[in-house]
Amino acid sequence: MTIRIADHLPADPDRAMRLALDRTMAEMKGSRILGIAGDVQAMQARGRRICNLTVGDFSPAHFRVPDALTDQVQRAMAEGHTNYPPADGIPELKRAVADMYARDLGLDYGAAGVCVGSGARPPIYAAWRLFTEPGDGSLSFLPSWNVGYYAHFCKTRHEFVRTTADTNFFPTADQVAAALPGKRLMYMNSPLNPTGTAIDEAVLRDIAQALVDENRAREAVGDKPCMWIYDQVYWRLTSGDTRHHNPVRLVPECAPYVIHVDAVSKWLAGTGLRVGWAVLPPYLQARMKGFIGHMGAWAPRPIQQATAWLLDRPELVADYLSGLQAAIDARLRRIHAAVQEMRAEGLPIDAIAPQGAIYLSLHVDMIGRGFDTNEQIRTWLLEEAGVAVVPFQAFDMPEDTGWFRMSVGAVGIEELDEALLRIREALRRRA
């Protein structure tokens, strides 16, 4: 006889869940973006055409991973590469990543400084666990992707430092220097999700120097340093003249403190392939390997095999990247140009020119002009223009500023053009 589990579960599942869970887990917040995606799906189910600019992902209908990568995954499967990989990645991939960092970023860590995981998230979480204890200070900048969740899991005393559009939503070196005392971990991401902006070279250099100064002073009195997660998952996706900058390249003395985080998720459009890595001082790598091993957050072996093969062929990667960048740019520039036209017409809208990643910061300047909150503007855009965007509150920025993230990974150009027309019409009706 089969036991029907539902007959043996409590009548009040919410109460049972609250009683069963650890307090930190019970208090874990759901993703705001997934909530918005639910709204979009509900409207689509009612037959509404929605241009969905909420997903920080690539739709394979528009963006494919390199064909050679697909072929190599199939080959690796056929050859039987299906057993456990080493906990920190297969040696071929670690070496291929190290070679790419030496060749393209000018950073020679060697394979011993690479720790592979199933995407960028496990190395990020591992770094939080490696360097913080409950009650330690941690630091990041607003708006930013997901950091609040990690701070919550690790029970750190987290400080979010707010940034503004004037600095492309990056902190100034003075803000960082003022916030560093008492912190054990700082997280920074460039090109930045959600804004599509990239950090300025001089600012990054000064921030790196501020960290070195802070940590040297701590070392002198035997205090623990502040470590720095530098999340560069979008580093190979920069627009136009924008260049990606790296703190260790600018100030090599910060090398002992920096944990780079990277993945094939974004710049090979392979979010579902689950291959990422940290690049960090080799003496810290072994601990990260241990932690990722215990989580079982290995990247699938056939995909590691294929990724190593591709990274060893930089000309193929460069070729693919130029096509990918052109397709992303076509979309981001389309939005930016249309928004500038609307602005020239006197409509209350603006956007920051694309610099990197797959995002654009959109400013709908209507707070205090018929709208009190970003949420009201978001719902209005969805209902009146059939366009779904994500307010910066989903990136921990509490204020109602009229700023939104637009993500172009899941839309085609035609669909985008129609959506931009609908936005223009909705704004005109409102004016």
Ligand X SMILES: Cc1ncc(COP(=O)(O)O)c(C=O)c1O
Query: Would you tell me which residues interact with ligand X (CB under 6 A)?
Result: 56, 119-121, 145, 189, 193, 231, 233, 263, 265, 271, 276
- Please list, in sequence order, all residues whose beta carbon lies within 8 angstroms of the beta carbon of residue 203, skipping any fewer than 6 positions away: 167, 170, 172, 173
Is the CB of residue 277 less than 8 Å from the CB of residue 115?
yes
How near is the Cβ of 236 to ligand X at its closest, in Å?
13
Q: How far apart are CA 142 and CA 398, in angstroms?
A: 9
Beta-strand pair 349-351/183-189 = unpaired
Q: Closest approach of Cβ 340 to ligand X, in Å?
A: 26
DSSP state at residue 399 = S
- Give the nearest distance from C-beta 16 to ligand X in angstroms: 31
Give min distance, CB of 121 to ligand X, in A: 4
Nearer to ligand X, 50 or 261 (CB): 261
Cα Rg for the chain, rounded, in angstroms? 22
Cβ pair 372, 162 in contact under 8 A:
no
- State the minimum distance, in angstroms, from the CB of residue 358 to ligand X: 9
Which residue, 193 or 285, has its beta carbon nearer to ligand X? 193
The minimum distance between CB 261 and ligand X, in angstroms, equals 7
Report in angstroms how near the CB of residue 237 gets to ligand X at its nearest: 11
Choose between 137 and 196: whose C-beta lies nearer to ligand X: 196
Q: How far is the CB of 10 from ligand X (least distance, A)?
A: 34
Q: Minimal CA–CA distance to 326: which of 245, 410, 238, 194? A: 238
DSSP helix/strand/coil, 314: helix
Nearer to ligand X, 132 or 265 (CB): 265
Q: Closer CB to ligand X, residue 359 or residue 371? A: 359
Cα distances (Å, whole numbers) of residue 13 to 17, 25, 30: 6, 16, 18
- Residue number with CB closer to ligand X (98 or 120): 120
Give the whole-angstrom CA distance, residue 128 versus residue 292.
12
By C-beta, is 33 or 338 nearer to ligand X?
33
- Measured CA to CA, the distance from residue 119 to residue 278 in angstroms comes to 10
Burial of residue 372 (CB within 10 Å: 0-12, 13-18, 19+) is exposed
* Residue 416 CA from chain centroid, whole number: 23
